[in-house]
Amino acid sequence: MEPVVNAWELDDVKWVLAQAPYIAADGGFTWFDGNEDIGWKYQDSFDILSKLISELNDQGFPNHAIYILGFSQGACLSMEFMIRQTFSLGGIIPIAGFIRYKERFKQDVLNESRNTRVLLLHGDKDEVILPEQSQMSFELFKGEGFETQLHILAARHKVPLQAKNLIENFINIVDSQDQIEQL
C-alpha cells in the first residue's frame, strides 16, 4: 500500500499502514490464518485495527474522520471488522474484496456500526477475486442499511489509480459536511 499512498498525495490525510499479524505459507504476512477445515483466525487482525482506532482517537481524530482502506485480504478484513463494532467510522473502502460467510455477515451486523459509509471498488478484469463478489457485498451492505457505493473500474486485481478521485470525493463528503456544521 505504501506505493499507492505515495502516488496519491491526498491533502489533509494521515495514512497509517498496518502490518498483518499472521505469517503466510510463502513467508509473507496475512490478515487471516487457517483454512476451511480448521477454521479461520482473525482476532489478532481485529485487535490491530481496534488499537489503531484508539490511538487515532487519542491523537484527536474522531471516529467520523477515520476510514479503513483495504485491498484484497485487507478489503475482506475491513468489511468483517466494521460490522462487528459498537461504533461507526467515517467509512470503509474495500478494494477487490469479498465477504466469505454471507449469512453470518447478516447475523453479526451491529446496529451501532450502520452509520459507517461503504465505498466498494473492484477491477472489471480481476481474475483473482471476481467483481461479482463486490456486487454481492454491495447488496449485503445495502440490505443491512449501510450507505453504500460500488464502482467497477477498468483494472485487474490491483488498486487502480483512477480510484484516487473516488476515494478523495468519498472522504471529502464528510469533511464538507463538518465545515458546514461549524459555520
CATH number at residue 113: 3.40.50.1820
Range of the domain at 96: 63-171
Is the overall model pTM greater than 0.75, yes or no?
A: yes
CB 122 within 8 A of CB 134: yes
Task: Assess if residue 115 is contained within a domain.
Answer: yes
Residue 52 lies in a domain: no
- pLDDT above 80: residue 177: no
Residue 5 has pLDDT above 80, yes or no: no
In degrees, to the nearest 5, what angle opens at C-alpha 48 toward C-alphas 46 and 49? Answer: 65
Q: Where are the beta strands (DSSP E) in the chain?
A: 22-23, 29-30, 33-35, 39-41, 67-71, 91-95, 117-123, 148-153
Residue 38 domain flag: no
Neighbours of 81 (CB within 10 A): 22
Structural domain contains residue 31: no
Which range among 1-10, 27-36, 149-158 has the greatest average pLDDT?
149-158
Count of structural domains within the chain: 1
Q: Which residue has the higher pLDDT, 35 or 73?
A: 73
Structural domain includes residue 146: yes
* Distance from C-alpha of 35 to C-alpha of 1, rounded to nearest angstrom: 25
- pLDDT tens digit string along 48-98? 999 999 999 999 999 999 999 999 999 999 999 999 999 999 999 999 999
